[in-house]
Chain A
Amino acid sequence: MSDILTPFILLPLWVLLIAFIFCILFWKYAKVQAVIALTSAAGYLLSAVWLFLAVYQDGIQVVQIGNWPAPYGITLVADLFASIMVLISAVIAFAIILYSLQDISAERKRNGFYPVLLVMVFGVCGSFLTGDVFNLYVWFEVMLVASFVLIVLGNRQGQLEGSVKYVTLSFISSGFLLTGIAILYKLTGTLNMADLSEAIAQHPDPELINLATVFFLVGFGIKAALFPFFSWLPASYPTPPISVVGLMAGLLTKVGVYALMRFFTLLFTYDLPSTHSLLLVLAGLTMFFGVLGALAQRDFKKILSFHIVSQIGYMIMGLALFTPLAIAGSIFYIVHHILVKTNLFLISGIVKVTQGHYLLSKLGGVYDRYPYLTLLFAISAFSLAGIPPLSGFWGKFILAKAGLEANRYFIVAVSLLVGLLTLFSMSKIWVSVFWSSAPGEAKGEFKYDSRTLFKSHYLLILSSVFLTLCTLVLSFYPEALIALSKRTAEQLLDPQIYIDAVLNNNNN
């Protein structure tokens, strides 16, 4: 690896950190902060593209911070999976910051909305790039502390209630993570992921590693909202403003999923039948109970929040099947899900702007009034439910095919059933918000018609259109991403590539 390439990995992190610092320096000037945030989001996007291209062409990029050699110092590693995640997080961050310019109240902006948002994205990006278990924990904390602030910023009663659950469960999960890290360190004497991968594979007593595996599974499971631990998500996501929810829905749980995928492909592969069967069961239960929760809800944002849970199940299902095709399906699904889910939240925010509510019973008649908004929603909603030819279909198709090839018929049946139920609960939103005529007293309460809505909230619509375009590209040209996901899956399933890139790098 040549020296000129090293800053590629750090560039996305630098951009965000410098933007954060300048937001601090211009604390009193909310408008300057907004400009800084938007510029840095664009810069982050560009640097993420650059990083991705570098990884795509030249293989895994590694940087040893402070020139300390690999198992001792902190390593930042960008393999294909990490760089895809950084890229998609940059797309979301850009759309969200664009959206937040008109969505977030001036009061919140004055109280440091943008710096905190940038720190959260900074934490997300760092968790994707780190190659060290303890460093991963630190990035998680950076991200979580920022997300605590974002959830309570504004100080409404519902926000505080949701944040108590969120903060408590996050602390518990951090405790589990730390314990897991401590156990791993005690057993193997190393924290570098590549080094750990070798140490665990050669460990004489895998039963002991099981202990660490369970701690990590619970810790990341809480963060990813896996089956028994998902209660915090629907409680805390609907309370803060849409820009915050969209960002969290898109990125936070996916960081948990990313960590699970990283750990269960690189580290905990010593006993596939037991660990990955457990994951498969959890995946099925997560899907099923998530969608059941969504069916019971009558609030736009809550339905969407429960859908996140059920979609997490699909991603974990691919990981649990552990074939190249299944992992590729998971990666495809993560990318598709982040785009679509964030977009759905953004659209729910636009509907809220027009009618002032999230309750399905108080909404209605959007199709009559705003046909274009309806089109945006339809594309994302049907993509989420997996209607061909939209992107969700390809994701589910790959996963189902992988499941059938692996002879896991039951999980495939569950996933198809859940797809059907997702469609059903989406059609509930569709019918009551978009198709039905507006409920009695709310009639005529539309604050804008189609044109004035666009005039006064063009940034909201633009960012939603931006994400919809991304979804459409994925839908009608899925080959590129499928091929990329397959390549990524091969890289993930062969830990030796990762180990060589990290450990043998210091010899040069």
Chain B
Amino acid sequence: MRTLILSTILRALTPLFISFALYMFFRGHNNPGGGFIAGLIASIPFMLHAMVFGYKRTTRVFRIRPRLLAGLGLLLALISGMFSVLRGEPYLSPVWVDEKLPVIGKVGTPIFFDFGVLLVVFGVVLQITFLLTEE
């Protein structure tokens, strides 16, 4: 499915989707959003890319294997919960850095957990897309 319109507009859409995904990701702390939805949104431009240019070209552009991303994301989520165990609190208790950072605000382990979720969703969705378009 090679359409000129979609392939042209994809250039403009890709950064838009990624930044919207990041916005949703950071918004998720107190509002609807978070890692899961951000991962879904971030995977949309790559899915479109695979639909327009075919799976082979997308994997060439994308380089990193989505399966690897999913695995690393899971690992990140798993490890982010372990900091609290080191401090003697139950697993997955949030641990926060005391000082506030500019723009982002307070940083703590939940954001790593959520980023792990983002990577897992992103990786799994892309993996499924690549497998399906391959056939």
Instruction: Enumerate chain A interface residues (CB-CB to B < 8 A).
Output: 3-4, 6-7, 10, 14, 17-18, 20-22, 24-25, 27, 63-67
Contacts and interface: CB of A to CB of B under 8 A. Distances in A.
A330 to B, nearest CB: 31
A20 B90 CA distance: 23
Contact of B88 (A3, A21, A24, A64): A3
Contacts of B42: none
Contacts of A27: 67
B81 to A, nearest CB: 8
Interface in B85-135: 85, 88-94
A154 B91 CA distance: 38
A63 B78 contact: no
A459 B115 CA distance: 42
A17 B120 CA distance: 14
A85 to B, nearest CB: 21
B68 interface: yes
B90 A63 contact: yes
A63 B85 CA distance: 11
Interface of B: 67-68, 70-72, 74-75, 78, 84-85, 88-94
A17 B90 contact: no
A18 B82 CA distance: 12
Given A7-B85, A21-B78, A27-B67, A65 B72 contact: no
A22 B70 CA distance: 11
A22 B94 CA distance: 25
Contacts of A22: 71
A23 B74 CA distance: 12
A65 B85 contact: no
A24 B70 contact: yes
A17 B78 contact: yes
A14 B77 CA distance: 12
A66 B94 contact: yes
A257 B68 CA distance: 37
A27 B69 CA distance: 12
B89 A24 contact: no
Given A3-B88, A7-B85, A25 B94 contact: no
Contacts of B68: 24-25
A18 B71 CA distance: 10
B118 to A, nearest CB: 16
A3 B91 CA distance: 11
A4 B85 CA distance: 9
A66 B85 contact: no
B93 A66 contact: yes
Nearest to B70: A24
A66 B92 contact: yes
B78 A18 contact: yes
Contact of B90 (A14, A18, A24, A64): A64
Contacts of A14: 78
Given A10-B91, A66-B94, A67-B89, A25 B72 contact: yes
A161 B41 CA distance: 37
Contacts of B89: 3, 67
Contact of B93 (A10, A17, A67): A67
Given A7-B85, A27-B67, A21 B74 contact: yes
B121 to A, nearest CB: 14
Nearest to B73: A21
A6 B71 contact: no
A22 B74 CA distance: 10
B89 to A, nearest CB: 6
B92 A65 contact: yes
A153 to B, nearest CB: 15
Contacts of A7: 85, 91
B71 A24 contact: yes
Nearest to A67: B93
Nearest to A14: B78
A498 B74 CA distance: 32
Contact of A66 (B70, B71, B74, B90): B90
Nearest to B113: A66
Given A65-B91, A66-B91, 11 more contacts: A6-B85, A6-B88, A10-B91, A14-B78, A18-B75, A21-B75, A22-B71, A24-B71, A25-B75, A64-B90, A67-B92
Contact of B84 (A18, A21, A24, A67): A67
Contacts of A3: 88-89
Contacts of B72: 25
B80 to A, nearest CB: 12
A6 B90 CA distance: 7
Nearest to A18: B78
Most B CB contacts (10 A, CB to CB) among A17, A20, A63, A66 go to: A66
Most A CB contacts (10 A, CB to CB) among B74, B89, B90 go to: B90
Given A6-B85, A14-B78, A25 B90 contact: no
A4 B87 CA distance: 10
